[in-house]
Structure 1
Amino acid sequence: MSGQSCWGYGDDNGPLNWHKQFPFAQGDRQSPIDIVPAEAVYNAELEPISISYSGCSSMSICNNGHSVVVEFEDCKDKTVVSGGPLEQPYRLKQFHFHWGQKDKRGSEHTVNGKSYPGELHLVHWNSTKYKTFGEAVVEADGLAVVAVFLETGDRHAQLHRLTDALYMVKFKETQAQFKDFDPQCLLPKCRDYWTYEGSLTTPPLHESVTWIVFREPIAVSEKQMDKFRMLLFSGEEESEKLRMVDNYRPPQPLKGRRVFASFQS
């Protein structure tokens, strides 16, 4: 989730030192976390997650210097997530990815300490209760983020449209048109999920996110992962070209929070 330009990954302002600039970094509901399935509480009252992206009209794909982001515009709440732990429908704002230099790391959330090669975040905001995304992002119930793990395996038939477009946004602060892409194709078939109250995983780290983390990963090919790794943290005019890899925050302390599961282990 996009933050401010004064921080980055892999330097002196990186995730381990964010607390020096952003007080929320040591808050009580920080994300991501390590999910321990045996300790997750099954909640029979959790409804299935309902996701409808029928009104998707993507505006652009961009390299914001921290990730690759696909932004959406939906003024009629046709692209929403609802059900589960959510009391209102939340409107899709954008989706982006986190990934590692190697397949052994890259996801922000971990499961029993296991990292996946990557993680997709679909960011939604409470447009029923708040007038703008900016207003919602600072409120405790302002955002809902759906997280999907990426596992290397077979080529993902739909993801190729995105990975084939990444060359257009190789450098920081580059942008290109990217239209008529339905992100529902990136969701796993099984909709079992964990949920907990957390935060943005990038500065300013506002504690405003209801997380919905799908248990089942989606498979992407090694070649598709390599196209993410070809992106750069650097701008086109910068002499030093820094490969965009390991753009994830490590798991944060749970601090007494409970993780709920929609399914029985």
Structure 2
Amino acid sequence: MQQWGYEKHNGPDTWHDLFPLANGNHQSPINIITQDATHDPSLQPLLVDYEPHSAKVISNNGHTVTVEFDDGDDSSVLRGGPLVGSYRLRQFHFHWGPSDGHGSEHKVDGVDYAAELHIVHWNSEKFSSFVDAAYAPDGLAVLAVFLKVGEPNRYIERITDTFDAIRSKGKESPFTNFDPSCLLPASMDFWTYPGSLTVPPLLESVIWTVLKEPISVSCEQLAKFRSLLFTNETAEIESCCMVTNHRPVQPLKNRNIRASFV
């Protein structure tokens, strides 16, 4: 049995038993109340500079599907927005829910989207490794993109086309020549706030940048995400599909949400 997961016996409601930070003061995701967000004119435009050849592998880690990148140098970085300096691209992954309309982690005025993409970066100017950065308040930067039900997304299709090879936990497949900026919306307006990883160990080391404009994904494409398995091929327990893998929103407490737009 997995130590943590998204089923009733090991889901988000139980994470605090193993990971006390689950009850911390800077937990993610959150519900973004737009009227309470403060426009901050000092926020810089977001600058993404990704090298397609740094993409390495796509895998099923038993919790989500992840695309990993070579982060040995600054060939793929995120700058601007709320960030000081550049943050190296490490990986991206997805969260989704049991129905096509509900599955994003963050909400906007109480409304969620069908799914959410997280593009994960780390502060290579201050830290020597991703692991070191993950334990520092300004160590990680995650760019979040909402997915809404609509037209099929040809860039998402490139990802779902690999799912037969990585259907079960622990499977991976080469995945190269992919620029994640193709998954970003036309508008780069965003909200930002200090938060945490949304999966254990829930470290409070993330500068979140949540893009306002969603991208599209079709019902058929979402169904492919839910067909992946939490379990591995040799699991003694019954195969279990990743029907949902998102954490509910957490209390904002005393944090401020800043907006790059009026």
Q: If the length of structure 2 is used for normalisation, what is the TM-score?
A: 0.97
- Residue in 2 that maps onto 1:256: 254
From the superposition, tell whether residues 180 and 100 of structure 1 become closer, same or farther in structure 2 (CA, over 3 Å).
same
Where in structure 2 are the equivalents of 1:17-96 lying within 5 Å?
Answer: 17-54=14-51, 56-96=53-93
User: 1:223 Cα deviation (Å)?
Assistant: 1.2
Give 1:14's aligned residue: 11
**Residues 54 and 76 in structure 2, CA contact (< 8 A), matched pair in contact too:** no
- Spell out the pairing of 1:223-262 with structure 2 (5 A cutoff): 223-238=220-235, 239-262=237-260
> Are positions 1:206 and 2:200 aligned together?
no
- Taking every aligned residue pair, what percent have the same amino acid on both sides? 51
Separation of aligned partners in 1, 2:243 and 2:187: 28
The alpha-carbon deviation at position 11 of structure 1 amounts to 2.8
Question: Are residues 49 and 56 of structure 1, via their aligned partners in 2, closer, same or farther at CA, if it must alter by over 3 Å?
Answer: farther
1:119 corresponding residue in structure 2:
116
TM-score between the two structures when normalised by the length of structure 1: 0.96
Distance (Å, rounded) in 2 between the aligned partners of 1:72 and 1:104: 30
* Match in the other structure for 2:214: 217
CA contact (8 A) 2:52 2:178 kept: no
| CA distance in structure 1 between the aligned counterparts of 2:100 and 2:220, rounded to whole angstroms | 12
Distance 2:193 2:127 in 1: 21
Deviation at 1:220, TM superposition (A): 1.1
Map of 1:104 onto structure 2: 101
**What's 1:170 paired with?**
167
Contact 2:190 2:211 in 1 (8 A): yes
Gap runs ≥5 in structure 1: none
Deviations 1:30-54 (A, max 9, x none): 0000001111000011011111103
Measured in 2, the distance between the counterparts of 1:115 and 1:241 equals: 28
The alignment of Structure 1 onto Structure 2 pairs a total of residues equal to 260
Native 8 Å contact 1:56 1:74 kept in 2: no
- Listed as ranges, the matches of 1:176-191 within 5 Å are 176-191=173-188
Write out per-residue CA displacement over residues 198-251 of structure 1, whole angstroms, 9 at most, x where no aligned residue.
000000000000000000000011111111111011111224011102100000
Query: How far is 1:159 from its partner?
Result: 1.7
1:146 equivalent in structure 2: 143
Q: Which runs of 4+ in 1 moved over 4 A?
A: none
